[in-house]
Amino acid sequence: MRIKSGLDIFCFFVGCGTLLVVLGIAGNGCRPRENGDRPIRPEPERIFLSLFCGAALRPLAEGLAAEYQRRTGIGVKMTYGGSNLLMGQLELVPGEADLFLPGDAWYVEAAAERGWIEEIIPLTHLWPAILVQEGNPLRIRTLRDLVRPGVRLAMPDSRGPALARLVPDLLAAAGLSESEMVPRIVFTAATLPELAHAVRLGHADAALMWEFFARLQSPCETVSISPAHNQAVLLSIGIMRASQRKEESRHFVEFMKSPAARPIWQEYHFTPPSETQR
């Protein structure tokens, strides 16, 4: 019998070790997974819609998106800002949004004129109101009270919130001019949350904003504007022409207008889409 050399013995053990490793890998692949003998399948890719949304509409949008995701599993990613600022973003990257929900249908229509919007869906109306400090210490009741000496006023920047576009008409309806109001303005902002913050911290006595948003600003108080001097704007949502998820986008808008979404609209002080008359 031939005596094996040290090299032969070494090669023998290496070969056995390699075989065991291969068998181990193969056995690993055949071993039952977590669910019995069925292999674990990768989860399907989650669907997310991209919504460009006016800053003041954030509470409503997040409430609707959360309920929609609970029902369908489809998430909604939000990009917030003043309506005019969102228009600038869409001009740079129109393909990043599936849906556009600014604080005034005028911006959706302007985006449609530029070819960015495929479909516009009306939702409800927005009404301006006056936000005042807790207890309304200056007894502000009307738009005319905003131009009284000593009143510190926070107003939307003309290049920011959608509401700014409506200010001249509101003042004219109340028999006021912008020149009368300018001396009272101590703060301007590109978004309504910033205006509300100024009143809450005492930097301003009053601010003009959408009534639904004012009513969310506890402990501040809301002063409604007389119907004779007030006017609403239409709130609409647009489906972007460049969207790759138009079908899912339409389904989300259908949910927004459905009876299932009614309690969410009411929770955030909106008239639901099916009840837009006031």
What is d(CA 248, CA 268) in angstroms, rounded to the nearest whole number? 24
Residues 214-271 pLDDT 10s: 999 999 999 999 999 999 999 999 999 999 999 999 999 999 999 999 999 999 999 9
Treating both helix axes as pointing N-terminal to C-terminal, what angle do 246-256 and 58-72 enclose, rounded to 10 degrees? 110
Superfamily of domain 48-126+234-275: Periplasmic binding protein-like II (3.40.190.10)
128-224: what CATH class? alpha beta
Closest-CA residue to 246 (of 50, 81, 102, 80): 50
* pLDDT given for residue 1 in this prediction: 40
Q: Is the pLDDT of residue 137 over 60?
A: yes
Closest-CA residue to 64 (of 275, 257, 239): 257
What is the 3-class SS of 206-274, one letter each residue? EEEEEHHHHCCCCCCEEEECCCCCCCCEEEEEEEECCCCCHHHHHHHHHHHCCHHHHHHHHHCCCCCHH
Rama region for 115: left / alpha / beta (φ>0; ψ in -120 to 50; rest): left
Residues 99-134 pLDDT 10s: 999 999 999 999 999 999 999 999 999 999 999 999
Q: Is the pLDDT of residue 6 over 90?
A: no
* pLDDT given for residue 162 in this prediction: 83
Q: Taking the domains of the chain in order of start, what are their residue ranges? A: 48-126+234-275, 128-224
In this chain, the answer to whether the domains covering 48-126+234-275 and 128-224 adopt an identical fold is yes
Locate 112 and state its tokens: 């449609």
Opening angle at CA 185, ends 179 and 190, nearest 5: 110
